[in-house]
């Protein structure tokens, strides 16, 4: 029988120290991790089949035979897809190891130490783009290769992501970290280590920031080349979506150091979820708008194009401005924000919570900006089909869920200081709405 400690009169209840990492698990994936793990891979295939075979319309099989036909559509790896994946990942590993860039220390870990990271994404981006351009220019590989082989490449990278997840699980089991649950499948899903490394090669940051993100850009460009091959035109929406997303990635590498203070890098262990997410989900679902536009090469009215550009630019300003304000404030709290001294809450832990500028409008205005850009990308596809809007629907879920987890984490970490921040800045993501 458990014994409850009742504080005697005049004695305040003993505050059990809260472990933020454990606390956040309560707001983690609950029991949804299993359906996620079972459903996400088929969903990626399903959306690719809709794009490749049904011009982006949602295809619903109406008989057993049609369902079987859908299942048979899942492609096996081909020699070309395996060769591509080996060269792609090999090339990106070499760039991570040898491309020029400086070493930067990450944010402090629980024990106060910091891990060094090589920040050479900017060089890797341009070398990759130039390399891909050269390979196509020389005629060694057609520019449409990625689109033509997308199905087999999807299968090959999916298998790779499972292989890597098993490796990560086994590696983590050899040195179990605080926070692993001992439940095999859940630990496989969420990960067993925060920063698995081979020497100084950080597996999580590499997968998070390189092969998947750069492949997303190249798939877009390959799909645009396919549109040119098939329709002898590259439509304005296709150009717009390729440029918007290329800019998003260029900007990501330009501010590469900011990755080190993101949630994934600081708090998320590296298991199947991030592995599959980084390597498969990002390149194959974030490119859905371009894939859709391939078979819909129509232009939008000028006013719509201008509206979409304005929305994307505004979203970018909010997204980047918010992230930069926090980053710069962390380095120099004296730096003025919008011409005035920064307002902040001095926490009992010794750190400061910024409470002015973008961080005085909502507690996660960066998510709002990201979602504005996501909407702009989806709108390039017009409004006649649902599938191109999958991105904004999924991304809204992801960021709302993440904000809840972050809020629980910060509450556990900062206690009443966080409550004070909530009081001062009541909106979570969308000012006036949520």
Residue 218, interface with ligand NDP (CB under 6 A)?
no
Instruction: Candidates 75-83, 184-192, 217-225, 366-374: pick the segment binding ligand NDP (CB under 6 A).
Output: 366-374
- Minimum Å distance from CB 18 to ligand NDP? 14
Q: Of these, 171, 255, 326, 328, which contacts ligand NDP (CB under 6 A)?
A: 326
- Minimum Å distance from CB 391 to ligand NDP? 10
Q: Cα(290)–Cα(222) distance, rounded to whole angstroms?
A: 9
Instruction: Candidates 95-103, 164-172, 259-267, 305-313: pick the segment binding ligand NDP (CB under 6 A).
Output: 259-267
Residue 402, interface with ligand NDP (CB under 6 A)?
yes
Confirm if 319 and 369 have CB atoms less than 8 A apart. Answer: yes
Number of residues lying near ligand NDP (CB under 6 A): 18
User: What Rg do the C-alpha atoms of the chain give, in angstroms?
Assistant: 23
Q: Of these, 155, 220, 245, 366, which contacts ligand NDP (CB under 6 A)?
A: 366
Residue 424, interface with ligand NDP (CB under 6 A)?
no
Which residues lie across from 117 on neighbouring strands? 104
Distance between first and last Cα of the chain = 44
Q: Cα(99)–Cα(143) distance, rounded to whole angstroms?
A: 25
Q: Cα(296)–Cα(141) distance, rounded to whole angstroms?
A: 25
Residue 401, interface with ligand NDP (CB under 6 A)?
no
**Residue 426: half-sphere exposure toward Cβ, Cα within 13 Å:** 4
Based on CB atoms, which residue is closest to ligand NDP, 143 or 209? 209
Q: Cα(331)–Cα(103) distance, rounded to whole angstroms?
A: 17
Instruction: Candidates 88-96, 195-203, 382-390, 401-409: pick the segment binding ligand NDP (CB under 6 A).
Output: 401-409
Confirm if 266 and 346 have CB atoms less than 8 A apart. Answer: no
Q: Of these, 292, 359, 389, 390, which contacts ligand NDP (CB under 6 A)?
A: 359
Residue 397, interface with ligand NDP (CB under 6 A)?
no
Based on CB atoms, which residue is closest to ligand NDP, 149 or 268? 268
Binding to ligand NDP (CB under 6 A) within 303-322 occurs at 319
- Check the CA dihedral 254-257-258-262 and report its sign: positive
Question: Within 10 Å of residue 381's Cβ, how many Cβ atoms?
Answer: 24
- Minimum Å distance from CB 148 to ligand NDP? 26
Strands 201-202 and 344-346: unpaired
Residue 256, interface with ligand NDP (CB under 6 A)?
no
- Which phi and psi (to 5°) does residue 247 adopt? -60, -40
- Minimum Å distance from CB 7 to ligand NDP? 30
Q: Cα(322)–Cα(361) distance, rounded to whole angstroms?
A: 10
Q: Of these, 210, 226, 269, 364, which contacts ligand NDP (CB under 6 A)?
A: 364
- Residue indicated by tokens 């090669």: 201
Interface residues with ligand NDP (CB under 6 A)? 262-263, 266, 319, 323, 326, 353-354, 359, 364, 366-367, 370, 402, 406, 409-410, 413
């Amino acid at each position: 029988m458990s014994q409850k400690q009742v504080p005697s009169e005049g004695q305040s209840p003993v505050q059990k120290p809260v472990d933020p990492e454990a606390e956040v698990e309560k707001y983690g994936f609950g029991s949804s991790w299993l359906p996620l793990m079972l459903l996400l891979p088929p969903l990626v295939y399903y959306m690719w089949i809709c794009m490749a075979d049904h011009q982006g319309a949602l295809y619903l099989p109406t008989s057993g035979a049609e369902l079987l036909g859908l299942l048979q559509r899942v492609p096996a790896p081909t020699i070309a897809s395996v060769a591509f994946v080996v060269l792609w990942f090999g090339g990106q590993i070499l760039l991570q190891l040898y491309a020029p860039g400086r070493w930067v220390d990450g944010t402090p870990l629980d024990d106060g130490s910091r891990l060094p990271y090589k920040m050479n994404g900017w060089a890797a981006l341009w070398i990759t783009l130039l390399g891909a351009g050269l390979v196509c220019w020389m005629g060694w590989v057609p520019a449409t290769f990625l689109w033509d082989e997308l199905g087999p490449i999807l299968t090959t990278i999916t298998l790779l992501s499972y292989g890597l997840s098993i490796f990560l699980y086994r590696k983590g089991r050899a040195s179990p970290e605080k926070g692993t649950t001992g439940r095999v499948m859940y630990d496989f899903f969420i990960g067993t280590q925060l920063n698995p490394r081979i020497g100084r090669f950080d597996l999580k940051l590499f997968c998070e920031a390189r092969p998947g993100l750069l492949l997303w850009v190249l798939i877009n460009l390959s799909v645009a080349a396919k549109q040119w091959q098939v329709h002898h035109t590259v439509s304005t929406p296709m150009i717009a979506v390729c440029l918007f997303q290329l800019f998003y990635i260029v900007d990501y590498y330009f501010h590469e150091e900011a990755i080190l203070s993101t949630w994934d890098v600081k708090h998320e262990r590296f298991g199947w979820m991030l592995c599959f997410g980084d390597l498969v989900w990002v390149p194959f679902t974030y490119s859905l708008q371009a894939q859709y536009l391939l078979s819909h090469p129509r232009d939008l009215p000028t006013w719509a194009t201008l509206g979409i550009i304005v929305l994307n630019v505004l979203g970018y300003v909010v997204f980047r401005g918010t992230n930069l304000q926090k980053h710069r404030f962390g380095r120099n709290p004296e730096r003025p924000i919008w011409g005035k001294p920064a307002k902040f809450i001095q926490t009992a832990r010794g750190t400061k919570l910024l409470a002015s500028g973008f961080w005085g409008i909502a507690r996660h205005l960066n998510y709002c900006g990201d979602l504005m850009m996501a909407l702009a990308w989806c709108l390039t596809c017009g409004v006649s089909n649902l599938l191109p809007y999958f991105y904004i629907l999924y991304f809204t879920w992801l960021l709302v869920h993440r904000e809840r987890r972050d809020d629980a984490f910060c509450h556990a970490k900062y206690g009443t200081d966080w409550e004070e921040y909530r009081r001062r800045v009541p909106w979570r993501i969308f000012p006036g709405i949520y």
